[in-house]
Amino acid sequence: MKQLPNSHHASPPLLGFAAYSGVGKTTLLKAIIPQLRQQQLRLGVIKLSHHNFEIDLPGKDSYELRHAGATQILLTSPYRQALITEQPTPCEPQLAAMVAQLDQRQLDLILVEGFRHEPFSKIELYRPSLGKPLLYPNDPHIIAIASDAPLAEDSSLPELDLNNSQSIAAFILQWWRARKS
């Protein structure tokens, strides 16, 4: 297994969003990404999916080539590229391997949705109404908690308003700047 870059010294740093399904990780990312881009940050995103997803459609050349037996297809244009790699046997993705696939020279920060059990800096997203336990007591890599209600227990971690994407983006920017200095 590849070693995950230390998120305190990685170039670029990694920052994850850890939560149970249904809390709103993607919704929050969709809100904060434009705010961080306004600050000129070049962002990469890694999203873990537990589903068997398709990014191609039947009838498209890359789909047909993959189904003809190609195990890797690099679809490229002047605007974007996508590498489709078939896994010979299903296996859990490793975050370090996913990070290594990014062109890190073009990024200032990598945001990660999922991989909550990996050891890197994360913001926990929490909705008490869902009845799930907090993650931070068992994860020393959680640096803040974003919740839609006050926490019932005291925590030494910063508490952020899950419904205030601007304050979360400001926290991330402050965290990122501290890593760069």
The DSSP-derived string for 119-158 is SS-EEEEE-GGG-PPPSGGG-TTEEEEEESS--SS--SS-
Q: Tell me, what's the pLDDT at 10? A: 47
Whether the Cβ atoms of residue 128 and residue 152 lie closer than 8 Å to each other: yes
pLDDT: which is higher, 73 or 178: 178
Q: Tell me, what's the pLDDT at 50? A: 65
Whether the Cβ atoms of residue 160 and residue 142 lie closer than 8 Å to each other: no
Provide the token pair at 2: 């590849």
Q: Tell me, what's the pLDDT at 144? A: 98
d(CA 27, CA 34): 12
Give me the helices (H) in 38-94, please. 61-67
As a whole number, the mean pLDDT across the chain is: 89
- Give the rounded distance of the alpha carbon of 107 from its chain centre: 14
- Give the rounded distance of the alpha carbon of 175 from its chain centre: 16
Q: Tell me, what's the pLDDT at 1? A: 44
Q: Tell me, what's the pLDDT at 121? A: 97
DSSP state of 105: G
Domains and CATH numbers, the chain: 14-48+93-180 (3.40.50.300), 53-90 (no CATH)
pLDDT: which is higher, 133 or 60: 133
Distance set, CA 139 to CA 18, 25, 48 (Å)? 10, 18, 19
Q: Tell me, what's the pLDDT at 102? A: 92
Q: What is the mean pLDDT of residues 37-48?
A: 95
Q: pLDDT of 1-36, one tens digit each? A: 455 554 444 489 999 999 999 999 999 999 999 999
Q: What is the mean pLDDT of residues 71-92?
A: 84
